[in-house]
Amino acid sequence: MADAIELAKALIACPSITPAHGAVFDVLEEALTAQGFEVERFVAGEPPDGPVENLLATRGSDEGPHFAFAGHLDVVPPGEGWSGDPFAGEVRSEMLHGRGAVDMKSAIAAFTAAAGRVRDHAGRITLVITGDEEGPATYGTVALIERMRARGLIPDFCLVGEPTSAARLGDTIKVGRRGSVNIWIEVAGTQGHVAYPGLADNPIPALVRILTAIDAIRLDEGSAWFQPSNIEPTTVDVGNPATNVIPAKASARLSIRFNEHQRGEDLVDRIRRIAEAESPRATVTARIYGEAFLTPPGPLSDLIAAAVREVTGLSPDLSTAGGTSDARYLVKLCPVAEFGLVNATMHKLDEAAAVADIEALTDIYECVLRKALVQSAIADRATSAHDK
């Protein structure tokens, strides 16, 4: 049986900066194989977004519920200024320190340990683990979903182990996420001397007009589950070191986070129309990272909330706040919710998770599995016997 803390330490000790591959998958595969999981590892994709290593592990049969857990072994770069080795995986003052301690190697370790405790289950447990969630995510969970469909591994529910808790472990479950799109605007001009503007075409005023028109947009007022959609300029660039030269081009980038009232393609088209109206020489390119989604409150969120209450005594809030996650892909496969550790230090220097929280998270995941696969299976058998 895997120990959550020891497994988390071993995973953190593998410097798996995105895209992750190799040693960190070896550690997880060994732990899962020891618990009777059938483990498949495969590499997907080509440069520039690939290759990416992924892991799909499953145990059980198709006779009964199918519960999946999804997560990622890749981490963001640690950065400079840590008080210790970011990949040491050390416990100090009852905190597990290291890159990935919160986001999200400890959650993967906790679920693996929980699965080791729940052997008497009906149905199937599947782990969906990618090495590329923090990066482009082109060949990560998307490729895993394709592999699952090809194998007929369609879960009834999926729990994603992202760090969702805000102030205390158990205070928040994520049941949806806003959509995300980045848009690049470039306005072409004609370079020339500032003293002879008639011989040049300055692209900056046109870009300013475009950004002014975009700034005036109010997309919506939000909804019952989502905050209002927002458009944020994230950079404006000219790249002109000279004081007496009209530049040849000017560009800007936008990031839009949007709710279910919007669609990514519609937002891109709206920005494109504004840009072209202000400057026929403007070009717009975009990348849609995901559409808004919601798993309405119901069996999955009720199941997780009941486990949280049983272990912590808290009644978690249901939320859609925060950035994107791979749940945006998994929701096309089955109902999805996210639950994990306190997110205060994710992506920060000296990332750390409380040992007590990791142990409690393991208990919660165990409780979720028992409610989903053991107690429900018993109830199903009881109902079947009564019908006979």
Q: Would you say 107 and 165 are in contact if contact means Cβ atoms under 8 Å apart?
A: no
What are 255's strand-pairing partners?
182, 232
Give the pair of three-digit tokens for residue 130: 């990618």
74 in active site: yes
Distances (CA, A) of 46 to 3, 138, 222, 247, 356: 36, 10, 39, 36, 41
Q: Would you say 41 and 57 are in contact if contact means Cβ atoms under 8 Å apart?
A: no
Give the pair of three-digit tokens for residue 224: 């019952």
Residues contacting residue 293 through CB under 8 Å, at least 6 positions apart: 176, 177, 179, 260, 327, 328, 331, 336
- Using DSSP's 3-state secondary structure scheme, residue 287 falls into strand
Backbone angles phi, psi at 315, to 5 degrees: -105, 105
Give the pair of three-digit tokens for residue 120: 């008497």
Q: For the sheet containing 230-237, what is the strand order?
A: 230-237, 249-258, 179-188, 282-290
Looking up tokens 């706040």, which residue turns up?
321
Q: Would you say 12 and 89 are in contact if contact means Cβ atoms under 8 Å apart?
A: yes
Q: Would you say 166 and 150 are in contact if contact means Cβ atoms under 8 Å apart?
A: no
Give the pair of three-digit tokens for residue 106: 């400890």
Give the CA count within 13 Å in the CB-facing half-sphere of 153: 25
Neighbours of 205 (CB within 10 A): 14
- Which of 53, 103, 132, 133 is an active site residue? 133
Q: Would you say 204 and 237 are in contact if contact means Cβ atoms under 8 Å apart?
A: no
133 in active site: yes
User: Which residues are the active-site residues?
Assistant: 74, 133
